[in-house]
Each structure stands twice: as structure tokens, then as C-alpha cells.
Amino acid sequence: MKKIDFTTLRVIVLIAETGSLSAAARQHSLTLAAISRRLLGAEALLKVSLFKRMSKGVAPTDAGRMLVARARQLLYEMDRLHANLSVFQTGETGTVRVGGNASAMTQFLPEELSRFSHRHPAIRLDLSELTSDEIIARLADGRLDIGLFSANAVHKGLDVRPYLNNHLCVVARDGTNLARRKSVAFSALLNHSFVGLESDSALMHLLRSKTQGQHLRVSVHVRSFDVVCRFVQAGIGIGVLPTSSAALYARSMNLVIIPLTDAWAVYPLLIGTRSVETLNAPSRLLFQSMAGSAPQPGDRS
């Protein structure tokens, strides 16, 4: 024996508590010979006698009592350390870095993360609102653990699952001719001015790709859905947004929601990560929770 390990310390404490090598062997599930070897090895290493051998068992020497007292402290601290670390293994504490695009942030992500936080209060969620392209870039270089982004954004190399379906609609001021429509095709909107999201957002990329060569007239680019609605309210133009998000603002801003009839106006929002297998335990727990409750087509629309 070159050093005293924690198993040997436990054996020594058990011997002191039971006053017998054989009783210590039974409690530790070791053979009597193994218990004896560990005690003799410790005494040889420390060059002191730890126990006095008597006709009926053993009793600790002064050195043995000092070692037993210190061993109990060390074993207690080690047990606490294992307990603290075990919660990381089960995913009960730690930090998860989550990125969501505007659609995720205004639709179901707040409620989803609230439910998760109530179930796992020791897990800290570091949440950022970003464009889909920004989320994908940060997932790829490790700055995010989990992201929610548009399926229209290029996400090659990521591990993804469907999260919800976005149904796009037009947002217009009440009282306008467009507001009287029950539904509309995107091609019928190209003579209007638009209030758009940032030019590099996945939604704007999608809209520009569907103009069939016509120019998309964008009066102003803004970052968030609520600001899109505010500018539409002010008469700057019309907006195209996910229906669930637009509904949050339409009534209070006297806006009308008109569904788009185009097939491409229904597209999935994805939950993704660089690799599920390499996620830390808290991140894997959140990813599996959200992916496991992913809606079927038509749900959360």
C-alpha cells in the first residue's frame, strides 16, 4: 500500500466502531483477510499501531483515535461531494444556454421554459433572443446548447427535431381594403409596402424567395414582432408574421389578421443542438423534454 485510500479509511472507522475485524468485514462485505491486509498496510505506511489487539477484539490506540476522528470528517466531506456531483449526473442542476428566434420567444417558449423551471428549479436557463441564422451559428461553435429556429434557415450538421408549425398571416390596419379579406395569397400583396423584420432574418429570406422575381417593397426593417405591429398600426405598411405571435398584439393595436393561402406559409419551427450525445445533463434533460412534447402537424398552430 503506497497511500491510504477512502476504502481503507472506511475499514478503519468500522473496526473502531465495531471493536472487531470480523464484524467490520461483515458490514463492509469484505473478507476478514482483506480487512486485516488493509489495516496492516495502513499501520506499515504510517509506522504506528492503530489498534491494540486484545483477547476479545481490538481497541484504537491514541494514534488510531486521532486517525478515526479525521477519517470520519474526510468521509463525510467525500459523501457530500458525491451527493453534490450526483445531481449533475441526473441533470438536476447546472446552466443551459438557450437561443430562440422571435417566433419561439413570442409563442410557446415562455410557457415551455416556465414549466421546465418549476420541475427543475436548480437548473438555470440563460436565454437569448436571436435570429435563426445567429442561433445556428452559435450552436455550431458551442456558444449555445439548444436553439429554436426556423426550418427555412440552413441548419446542416445540427441534430434537430420538429417543435411547432408556424402559420403565417398578414397583419393590416383595421378599416383598410385588405382588412376586409378573409384570406389572401402572398402574390396579391406585392403592390403593398411591408414592415419587415431584419433583412437577414429567416422570415425575410423566405418572403423574398416567394416574390417570383418581383421587388419586395420594405418601408422599414425592425427587430421584433411587436414593433412590426406598432409600425403597421402607424400606417407604415403591412406585416407578415406567425399567426400566434400576431394575435398577441392585434386586438390591442386595432389590427386585423388575414391568413395566407400559400402552402409555404405553413412551415416548422425546429429545436436543435450540435449533438444530443455531447450535451451536458441539464441541457439533455431540457432538449428531451421539449423534443418529447413536440406537437404533431397542426398542433400549436
User: Could you read off the pLDDT of 171-214 as tens digits, one per residue?
Assistant: 999 999 999 999 999 999 999 999 999 988 889 999 999 998 99
Mean pLDDT within 55-74: 93
Which residues span the domain enclosing 260? Answer: 166-265
Query: Is residue 115 a part of any domain in this protein?
Result: yes
Total domains in the fold of the chain: 3
- Residues sharing a CB contact under 8 Å with residue 29, sequence separation 6 or more, in sequence order: none
Cα–Cα distance for residue pair 296/180, rounded to 1 Å: 32
pLDDT at position 55 is: 85
Give the ranges where 191-255 is alpha helix by DSSP (H).
202-209, 225-233, 243-250
Q: What is the pLDDT of residue 278?
A: 86
272-283 mean pLDDT: 90
> Is 297 contained in some domain?
no
Same domain, 252 and 120: no
Mean pLDDT across the chain: 89
101 and 245, same domain (yes or no): no
The region that residue 193 occupies, defined by phi over 0 for left and psi between -120 and 50 for alpha, beta otherwise, is beta
Q: Are residues 12 and 45 in the same domain?
A: yes
Distances (CA, A) of 288 to 18, 86, 146, 183, 233: 48, 19, 11, 37, 40
Q: What is the pTM of this model?
A: 0.62
Cell of 244: 400566434
Is there a single domain that holds both residue 206 and residue 154?
A: no
232 in a structural domain? yes
Domain boundary among the residues 54, 89, 124 is at 89
Q: What are the pLDDT digits (tens) for 120-142?
A: 888 899 999 998 999 999 999 88
194 and 63 co-located in one domain: no
- Is residue 21 located within the same domain as residue 148? no
CATH of the domain at 256: 3.40.190.10
Reduced to 3 states (helix: H, G, I; strand: E, B; else coil), residue 154 is coil
**Are residues 156 and 187 both part of a single domain?**
no
| Alpha carbon distance 163, 151 (integer Å) | 10
